[in-house]
């Protein structure tokens, strides 16, 4: 990659405040929450579910924003484009992201829905069930695309969740086109199997024509290619894009490239698995930090596993320990 970049990674996604609470399966059933996925809800449903939740932890989130926070924790230069409202939650989101070391200055929405929030219900098996009110985040549009910043990033990382509104979808595709025109790399995360179900054709087109690096878990990649055979999905991904990072929870990850497919072991959370929220986001952070610094693909995946292991060892989707220090402890510092 060229050395004139100001950023290692620029993320484009839904700017969301996360509300995380511990519940049991009975709570999910009583409140009609689909376990293990992400369901879009309106503002009234968000208010009702929030009132029913037990005491919870609130912090700025959103998939791509979490990934950018991870890149920054690894010592990388990160930037984020996403829409919040001109309200208290929007201010909290901006402050948290900047405090994490991420460049963020997208203009807030003055008139319209409030800042987005994701109500994350974590059950004892560490599964997270998400109910998301997109609010202002879905108002992201062409005017919010900063071509100069995209051109200054080695990798532009696109969050699949942003595809749930046509205006945002057009901005998303434009960002990919700008990055390609500047000879930069483009990465896409499929985000969620339900998201893939809604936008399969658009995602396939993006992967085939715009994407250098694809991030997906096993369920998402099977959904993308409408198969139950993981090996078939691997071969389809290999044909469609430069590199794919496919995560398989405790089985580790599979890195797919023109050279074939290689499996990289997972890293166990220390001291224990607490909450899987943000695992894929932080895996992508580690992998893209490695890609931006031209590390071997297996090292990129290992960095991703280290970052994912840190975030699933506690509640919340942002790292609480320095990922740069954890990488150094594992012998994967940039200079190693």
CA distance 195 to 191: 7
Closest to 13 measured CA to CA, from 196, 203, 162, 132: 162
pLDDT at 335: 47
CA distance 186 to 209: 10
CA distance 122 to 275: 7
Contact (Cβ atoms closer than 8 angstroms) between residue 186 and residue 155: yes
Contact (Cβ atoms closer than 8 angstroms) between residue 81 and residue 145: yes
Strand (E) positions, the chain?
A: 7-12, 16-22, 38-40, 57-61, 78-81, 102-104, 116-122, 128-133, 153-159, 185-189, 213-217, 243-247, 253-257, 260-264
Closest to 249 measured CA to CA, from 94, 159, 126, 116: 126
The structure tokens listed for 38 are: 């992400």
Q: Which CATH superfamily is domain 7-329 in?
A: Ribokinase (3.40.1190.20)
Handedness of CA 297, 287, 186, 263 (dihedral sign): positive
Long-range contact list for 225-230, CB < 8 A, 24+ apart? 226/200
The full set of domain ranges for the chain reads 7-329
3-state secondary structure of 8: strand
Beta-sheet pairing, 128-133 with 116-122: antiparallel
Residues 6+ apart with CB under 8 A from 12: 64, 80, 81, 82, 140, 156, 157, 158, 159, 162, 171, 172, 175
Tens of pLDDT along the chain (336 residues) come to 556 899 999 999 999 998 889 999 999 999 999 998 889 899 999 989 999 999 988 888 899 999 999 999 999 999 999 999 999 889 989 999 999 999 999 999 999 999 999 999 999 998 889 999 999 998 998 889 999 999 999 999 999 988 877 887 888 889 989 999 999 999 999 998 988 999 999 899 989 998 999 999 999 999 999 999 999 999 999 999 999 999 999 999 999 999 899 999 999 999 999 988 899 999 999 999 999 999 999 999 999 999 999 999 998 889 999 999 999 999 998 643
The structure tokens listed for 316 are: 């919340």
CA distance 299 to 282: 15
Q: What is the pTM of this model?
A: 0.90
Handedness of CA 173, 175, 176, 177 (dihedral sign): positive
CA distance 278 to 156: 19
């Amino acid at each position: 990659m060229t050395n004139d970049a100001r950023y290692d990674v620029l993320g484009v996604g839904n700017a969301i405040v996360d509300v995380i609470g511990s519940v049991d399966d009975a709570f999910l059933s009583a409140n009609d929450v689909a376990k293990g996925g992400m369901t879009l809800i309106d503002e009234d449903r968000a208010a009702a579910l929030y009132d029913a939740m037990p005491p919870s932890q609130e912090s700025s989130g959103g998939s791509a924003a979490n990934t950018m926070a991870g890149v920054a924790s690894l010592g990388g230069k990160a930037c984020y484009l996403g829409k919040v409202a001109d309200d208290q939650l929007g201010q909290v989101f901006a402050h948290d992201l900047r405090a994490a070391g991420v460049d963020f200055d997208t203009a807030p929405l003055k008139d319209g829905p409030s800042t987005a929030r994701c109500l994350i219900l974590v059950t004892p098996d560490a599964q997270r069930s998400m109910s998301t009110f997109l609010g202002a985040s879905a108002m992201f549009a062409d005017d919010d695309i900063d071509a100069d910043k995209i051109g200054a990033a080695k990798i532009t990382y696109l969050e699949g969740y942003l595809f749930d509104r046509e205006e945002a979808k057009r901005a998303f595709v434009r960002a990919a086109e700008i990055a390609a025109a500047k000879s930069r790399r483009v990465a896409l995360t499929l985000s969620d199997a339900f998201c893939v179900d809604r936008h399969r054709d658009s995602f396939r087109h993006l992967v085939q024509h715009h994407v250098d690096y694809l991030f997906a878990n096993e369920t998402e990649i099977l959904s993308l290619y409408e198969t139950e055979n993981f090996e078939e999905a691997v071969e389809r991904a290999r044909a469609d894009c430069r590199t794919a990072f496919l995560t398989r929870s405790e089985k580790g990850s599979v890195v797919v490239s023109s050279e074939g497919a290689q499996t990289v072991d997972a890293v166990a959370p220390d001291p224990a698995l607490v909450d899987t929220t943000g695992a894929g986001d932080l895996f992508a952070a580690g992998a893209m930090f490695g890609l931006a610094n031209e590390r071997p693909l297996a090292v990129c995946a290992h960095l991703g596993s280290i970052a994912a292991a840190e975030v699933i060892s506690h509640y919340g989707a942002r790292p609480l320990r320095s990922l740069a220090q954890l990488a150094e402890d594992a012998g994967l510092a940039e200079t190693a």
